[in-house]
A and B are shown apart, each in its own frame.
Chain A
Amino acid sequence: NAGVTQTPKFRILKIGQSMTLQCTQDMNHNYMYWYRQDPGMGLKLIYYSVGAGITDKGEVPNGYNVSRSTTEDFPLRLELAAPSQTSVYFCASSYSRTDTQYFGPGTRLTVL
């Protein structure tokens, strides 16, 4: 099993551009999550999904959108990128709400 995979690993965007961060898991997990990690701060939840077709906002959803059309995939869309979205983004998945979350390798995004 590959676990949780994320693409791309690195990306530089200009202000106002859009992009999609890809996340795929092969563990048949129902729950999937997007976090961002900024220096000196704990991981912050952006959006999460409890199953295909069901998503909900986390702590810091502004400026992001998600969709979940399959169990395996949970892409994160950035519209109109801003410098405040410069961060490292992690996708995670878990079998159930209280179960261990397993993380992908991350995407380092810089908005200039």
Chain B
Amino acid sequence: EDQVTQSPEALRLQEGESSSLNCSYTVSGLRGLFWYRQDPGKGPEFLFTLYSAGEEKEKERLKATLTKKESFLHITAPKPEDSATYLCAVYYTGTASKLTFGTGTRLQVML
């Protein structure tokens, strides 16, 4: 079954402690992989789109990378304001406009 799996489910970091979030997918015919940030009580906020293996995108302390089986969201020297749930979603051939979402990683950055 085609699916998207995110790990870990939850992550607690100290301010400045860099780490990575993982999104692995088993779909075939990947057309795009999307990262979103979601704050409590809010809608998902777009971060990055990656289209092909080897692609990387950066924004402030965040860097997203993509391989043929997974994507990583690297967080460098995180701050408390980076605390949120990070969602990964994929769009692949034959899904007729459907994004398949992972269940997210809840990140908490402590002072």
Q: Which residues of A contact B (CB under 8 A)?
A: 4, 31, 33, 40-45, 48, 50, 56, 58-59, 90, 92, 97-98, 100-106, 108
- The 4 tightest CB contacts between A and B, nearest first, are A42-B101, A103-B43, A43-B101, A103-B44
- In the bound complex, how far is the Cα of B85 from the Cα of A41, in angstroms? 13
In the bound complex, do residue A104 and residue B43 qualify as a contact, i.e. CB atoms below 8 Å apart?
yes
In the complex with contacts A41-B103, A43-B101, A56-B45 CB distance below 8 A: no
> Chain B residue with minimal CB distance to A44?
B101
Known: A43-B44, A43-B87, A101-B99. 12 other contacts (CB 8 A): A33-B97, A42-B4, A42-B89, A42-B100, A43-B99, A45-B99, A90-B43, A90-B44, A98-B32, A103-B43, A105-B43, A106-B41
Interface residues on B, range: 20 to 34
Point out the residues of chain A lying under 8 angstroms from B87, CB to CB: 42-43
Which of A42, A90, A104, A108 neighbours the largest number of chain B CB atoms within 10 Å of its CB? A42
- In the bound complex, how far is the Cα of B99 from the Cα of A97, in angstroms? 10
B94 to chain A, nearest CB (A): 12
In the bound complex, do residue A50 and residue B97 qualify as a contact, i.e. CB atoms below 8 Å apart?
yes
For window 11-54 of chain B, which residues contact chain A by CB distance below 8 Å?
31-32, 34, 36, 41-46, 49
- In the bound complex, how far is the Cα of B87 from the Cα of A59, in angstroms? 19
> Chain A residue with minimal CB distance to B97?
A97
In the bound complex, do residue A106 and residue B43 qualify as a contact, i.e. CB atoms below 8 Å apart?
yes
In the bound complex, do residue A98 and residue B43 qualify as a contact, i.e. CB atoms below 8 Å apart?
no
